[in-house]
Amino acid sequence: ELGEIETELAKSPLIKHNRIVVKEDASKNKFLVAYIVPNGEFNKESIQDFLKEHLPNYMVPGFYVALSELPLTPNGKVDLKKLPNISEQDVTKSEYAAPRSKEEKLLVNVWEDVLKRSPISVKDNFYNLGGDSIKSIQIISRLKQQGYSLKIKDILRVAVLEQLAKHMEVSNRIIDQSPVEGEIAFTPIQHYFFENNIFKVHHHFNQSVVLKSGAELNSDFLSKSLTFLVHHHDALRMIYKKEGDNWKQYNKGIQKDDLTVDFHDLRNSDDELLAMAKIGEQLQSGFNLEGSLLKAAHFRLTSGDRVALIIHHLVVDGVSWRILLEDLSVIYTQLLSGAAVQLPLKTDSFKLWSSLQQDYAHGEQIKLEKPYWESVSSQVISSFPTDKNSREFNVKIDSSISFSLNKYTTELLQTKVHGAYNTEINDILLTGLGLSLKNVFGLDKSILKMEGHGREEIIPDVDINRTVGWFTSFYPFVLDVSNPDSNTLIKVKEDLRKIPNKGVGYGILKYLTKQYSDKLIPAIEFNYLGDFGSGVTNKNEDSIFEYASEYIGANNDDSNGNDVLLIVTGILVDEKLSITINFNKEVYHKKTIQDLVDSYKENLVALIEELSAIRENYLTPSDLTFKKISISTLSELNKDNDIEDIYKLSPLQQGIYFHWLSNGMSSLYFEQISYRIKASDLDITDIKEAYDKLITRHAVLRTGFKYDQTNELPIQIVRKTVSGNFLHKKLPSSVIDLNEYVEKIKLEDRNKGFDLESTSQMRLQILDLGNDNYEFIWSHHHILADGWCMSILIKDFYQILNSISQKSVLNLPKTFPYSNYIKWLDSVNTNDSMTYWKNYLEGYNQIAEIPFGKTIQEDQKYTEAKETATIGENLYKKINSLCASIGVTQNTFIQVVWGFLLSRYNNTQDVVFGSVVSGRPGELEGIEDMIGLFINTIPVRIKYADVDTPYDLLKRVQEDAIYGSTYHYSNLAEINAQSELGMKLFNHIMIFENYPIQDILENGVKNSQINQYKEIKIESVATFEQTNYDFDISILPSSSSLAIDFKYNTKRYESKFMKNLVEHIYNLIEQFTEHINKPLNTFNYLSTEEKEQ
């Protein structure tokens, strides 16, 4: 394909001549280099952009070298030997970005070490470099050795290096390094081994590796190296005893004697390999479960030395082998050089992991998985076909057929295919297998027995990344390729992503809880073992050992059977993927399995070629925050491939959305902030650019809403790009009254409302009023954000505007998406919340009414009026002093005063009203500056006795508020359902507004005093908002006073009586501050005039 790249490059007007060459780095990774004679100025990025328009990404070179001419041989061909070597400067900036922070530099080094690729950019994606779940474990282990911690789920979810570096944390946890001893409970996989009847000979069930070395090895050093391994890795000292009918597992302490490694010089044997195999057979079958479960032998052959390592499967797995072989290489090298033996610190023990799994098995989290596994096992799947015999248990696997992909195709599989649909290697391998099973056996659905590494992060604060043991998990998976109308790969990917915790919970449920059994009988076992490289290297990349393929005896006794018909195993060695299908020749004809192998290879190669040619990235449901959306619904919504994310609504958002559905494009929940500024030479172009950048910065501003019929709930859809709702109007010459004109425009804007199903629920309108006066009108639907967010947005806007106007670098902090909050909400235990609210509202059965009401006609629109109680400086100081002295907040003080007044109005001592809470959980990272609707409405109950004093009531309500804050995130409709009154629990709300818009605006404008604007000055500020309540109370504190706004619908309440209410609450505030310890039944809220009537 190099000629094809050269042909495309030749079409570019930027290039005279070019030559494409494949280069190889120190780790034998291949990459493309373009040597170019430019036509004029040399611009690497422009050349690369040109190629990206005409070729798939995998054919676009990453390195570009400019030459004055191409070196030629005497025959006129390009002299490849004279082409210069490449340097870091030759890489395109869009492809390579150097690490900047200490964390990024460390992570780059670790990635290059584990993934065997260099150079790695901070923009690189883990999956596109051949990453998989096992390599993620290796990365975490390397970071741990450098004093940092990182979670596997972060690597698998975040994937891009520069973003992942932000999740790294300094690890201060100290793990006990002393030898582990004592009895250890079985893990699920060990229960499976001892309880399954297919295993007849327990002592002969091993895993083995043969290593080769070109140099002669020192047997004594090998013995000492393996002894160090046994001392360091506790599980290698495990023994098993049968006590009665039950097996028990014990970890022995450290023994003094070195592990024996027998040396066999076979160079004079008639058949070296046969002699080695016979010795291997004896070693394989010679285990005693009550003795050492590791055996080793050193062979000297004419082709070099071999080391056979045989370990019983009870104490080792695929990840463990990587750890052991790396450590073996390190120890042997240190012994050779005379250095002190030093290994990385141990991680948490297998004993601890087993103990914690027993606890986990009886906890709440595992119960959440049970419905998934029950739904899987309830499926009806046709029996898997056989050629000769009907399906039997305990099948003997005695034959195999394999195929391999070449290095080029394997490289594509590791690096180029995953960008299209955000896939992992198992997604591709299983899709190819499913299509092949359909081709050969006509099966739409097959039951697989999936094998995983089992080291999932289900238990917090446990590190088993460098722990040796048998952690493997087994779980059933229905491989479904039945739907011809959908992308099969996407279906397989989505089914895999639905598996909770990578399947580790299945074994816990089945073997540790003993409360679960399934009816599915898997026919095929599938296991992708990962990338084993080409040799066993230490951290310095010194390859002392390489993998060898000589036979060293059967790992498994012939009497041990299998509970599947086929075993499909994949492994990546020496840059090539090999797939082996193991079968029983008494059950299948060899031709049947050969057809399956051929079909598998054909489907796999076709998949890889198709995916690697796709340039765009397409989201599937599991890539989204809301993963339950159907594939078909997402496909319909994302026709333009412009969706960034989809997630559910917060509790208050849900309520607002359903109000909008009922009332349409009304001014209900319409929010508007307007202010007038005076500024000379204000550049409207800069204003629009700043607004557009604000929209780009915050995902919430690119959000629309839709009802998902499949899941029967509303969802919010974030688009990658939206057209900003920006309007600029000049004052018409016919306008006489300026303020009247502005109010008219604002009213028109409110009447326009918002269509929540459109792509944005915010707009900015600039009115040029002449004489350097401008009215800014910010409008948004309340479903998007609360008042606190508007202060953040306006602050950001002016910083962006400042950077544009001054042509300076914009330095804003990282944004945290609102979806993080939605995910956090999903983690809240709703059962605990509902129990709390049920207890809190118990016994309350009479709604507290606002007096002075009148009958309202259904067709009458909301007409707002407002009365304000102003608490002056002196009284405000008394309130603050009182609150500080008894340890309550201003909010609690006003709530208690209002609740007491409301109780007197209703002639009761028990009232409930609504209160708006901030809804921002302190433990969520970035919550303070996150944009979205966090506020929530909850009930506040004020209940007292005659003898109670304001002090008693204030303290009690404050304590209730503190204790109840954990439950402030519940859906109001669900809270109401816990009370006897249901939806009629309360009819008004109180809002404590502690975000001073005036101050925010003044600070923002002050920060935008730039050269061409001689002066920017705020002339006036006005706000508008409308809730779905006919009466609400807003508390607006300032530095020297407090305003209590009573907003009400004049169609519902009499204005003259509302004025009395203002005086009533003022009177009570005065009395509470003066007589904090007097009984509440002595307080009187009436005015002097009312008392005289």
pLDDT digit string (tens) for 163-211? Answer: 889 888 887 778 889 999 999 999 999 999 999 989 999 999 999 999 9
Between the alpha carbon of residue 919 and those of residues 795, 934, 987, the distances in Å are: 21, 5, 21
What angle in degrees, to the nearest 10, is found between the helix axes of 873-886 and 950-964? 70
| Residue 595 burial class via C-beta count within 10 angstroms: exposed 0-12, middle 13-18, buried 19 and up | middle
The dihedral over CA atoms of 445, 451, 455, 459, expressed in degrees to the nearest 10, equals 50
Average pLDDT over residues 618-641: 94
Helix (H) or strand (E) holding 318: helix 318-337
Q: What is the mean pLDDT of residues 950-967?
A: 92
Distance CA 526, CA 507 (A): 16
CA dihedral sign of residues 56, 58, 60, 62: positive
Helix H or strand E encompassing 912: strand 910-917
User: Cα torsion for 548, 551, 553, 557, to the nearest 10°?
Assistant: 100
514 has pLDDT over 70: yes
Collapsing DSSP to helix, strand or coil, 985 comes out as coil
Q: Does pLDDT of 564 surpass 60? A: yes
Q: Over 70: is that where the pLDDT of 392 sits?
A: no
- What distance, in Å, lies between the first and last C-alpha atoms of the chain? 99
| Distance (Å, whole) CA 722 – CA 694 | 12
- Give φ, ψ of 980 to 5 degrees: -70, -25
Angle subtended at Cα 1056 by Cα 1054 and Cα 1062, rounded to the nearest 5 degrees: 105
- Global pTM value: 0.76
pLDDT at 391 exceeding the cut of 80? no
pLDDT tens-digit series, residues 31-50: 788 898 888 777 777 788 78
**Is 864's pLDDT higher than 90?**
no
pLDDT score of 580 more than 60: yes
- Between the alpha carbon of residue 922 and those of residues 153, 832, 936, the distances in Å are 23, 19, 15
pLDDT band of residue 973 (cuts 50, 70, 90) is confident
Residue 858 has pLDDT above 60, yes or no: no
**pLDDT tens digits for range 295-348:** 999 999 999 999 999 999 999 999 999 999 999 999 999 999 999 999 988 999
At 296, is the secondary structure helix, strand, or coil?
strand
pLDDT at 877 over 70: yes
List phi, psi (to 5°) of 1016.
-125, 125
- For residue 162, name the pLDDT band (cuts at 50, 70, 90): confident
CA pair distance 286, 306, nearest whole angstrom:
20
Q: Is the pLDDT of residue 74 over 60?
A: yes
The model's pLDDT over 520-532, given as tens digits with 9 standing for 90+, comes to 889 999 999 888 7
| 51-55, 203-207, 1062-1066: least confidently modelled range | 51-55
* Average pLDDT score over residue span 256-263: 86
Question: Domains in the chain, ordered, with CATH?
Answer: 1-96 (3.30.300.30), 100-172 (1.10.1200.10), 182-346 (3.30.559.10), 352-537+559-622 (3.30.559.30), 627-784 (3.30.559.10), 866-1018+1028-1092 (3.30.559.30)
What confidence tens digit (pLDDT) does each residue in 779-832 have?
999 999 887 788 889 889 988 998 888 888 788 888 999 999 999 998 888 888
Q: Name the region of 74 (left: φ>0; alpha: ψ -120 to 50; beta: rest).
A: alpha
Q: Cα–Cα–Cα angle for 798, 802, 803, nearest 5°? A: 120
Q: What is the pLDDT of residue 130?
A: 74
Q: Which two tokens stand for residue 806?
A: 């001054």
Tokens 């890539």 map to which residue? 623
pLDDT at 27 over 60: no
Amino acid at 392: E
Contact in structure between 767 and 749 (CB atoms under 8 Å):
no
User: Given pLDDT bands bounded at 50, 70 and 90, which one contains residue 25?
Assistant: low
The per-residue pLDDT for range 119-146, each reduced to its tens digit, is 888 888 887 777 777 788 788 888 887 8
Q: Is 986 exposed, middle or buried (0-12, 13-18, 19+ CB in 10 A)?
A: buried
The 3-state DSSP class for residue 724 equals: coil
Shortest CA distance to 825 belongs to which of 1017, 678, 1082, 652?
652
Q: Is 340 exposed, middle or buried (0-12, 13-18, 19+ CB in 10 A)?
A: exposed
Burial code (b: 16+ CB inside 10 Å, e: under 16) for 823-860 equals eebeeeeeeebbebbeebbeebeeebebebbeeeeeee
- Distance between CA atoms of residues 641 and 588, nearest Å: 46
Laid out side by side, the sheet with 304-312 consists of 262-265, 294-301, 304-312, 206-213, 543-547, 535-537
pLDDT at 693 over 70: yes
Reduce the DSSP state of residue 129 to 3 states and report it.
helix
Residue among 790, 760, 789 nearest 778 (CA)? 790
Contact 471, 454 (CB under 8 A): yes
Query: Region 888-914: what's the mean pLDDT?
Result: 94
| Sequential DSSP letters for 430-477 | HHHHHHHHHHHH--SEEEEEEEE------STT---TT--S---EEEEE
The beta-carbon contacts of 418-421 under 8 Å, at least 24 apart in sequence, are 418/125, 418/127, 418/128, 418/611, 419/57, 419/125, 419/128, 419/614, 419/617, 420/611, 420/614, 420/616, 420/617, 420/618, 421/487, 421/489, 421/490, 421/493, 421/611, 421/617, 421/618, 421/620
How many CB atoms within 10 Å of residue 1019?
Answer: 12
894 pLDDT more than 90: yes
CB atoms within 10 A of CB 290: 13
Range from 716-720, 855-859, 1079-1083 carrying the lowest mean pLDDT: 855-859
Confidence band, pLDDT 50/70/90 cuts, at residue 1012: very low
Which residue has better confidence, 448 or 658? 448
Report the alpha-carbon distance of residue 760 to residue 784 in Å, rounded. Answer: 9
Exposure of 1015 by Cβ count < 10 A (0-12 exposed, 13-18 middle, 19+ buried)? Answer: exposed
How much is the pLDDT for 969?
A: 87
Q: How far apart are CA 136 and CA 153, in angstroms?
A: 9
**pLDDT over threshold 50, residue 1014:** no
Whether 666 shows a pLDDT value over 70: the answer reads no
**Contact of 803 with 764, CB cutoff 8 Å:** no
Go through 85-98 and write b for each residue having 16 or more CB atoms within 10 A of its CB, e for each that does not: ebeeebbbeebbee
Output the CA–CA distances (angstroms, integers) from residue 274 to 271, 370, 757, in the order listed.
5, 51, 74
Distances (CA, A) of 59 to 29, 88, 390, 864: 15, 20, 49, 65
* Nearest in space to 410 (alpha carbons), one of 391, 383, 428, 435: 428
Is residue 996 over pLDDT 60? no
Q: Average per-residue pLDDT in the chain?
A: 88
3-state secondary structure of 879: helix
What is the rounded CA–CA span in Å between residue 352 and residue 374? 29
The torsion region of residue 497 among left (phi > 0), alpha (psi -120 to 50) and beta comes to alpha
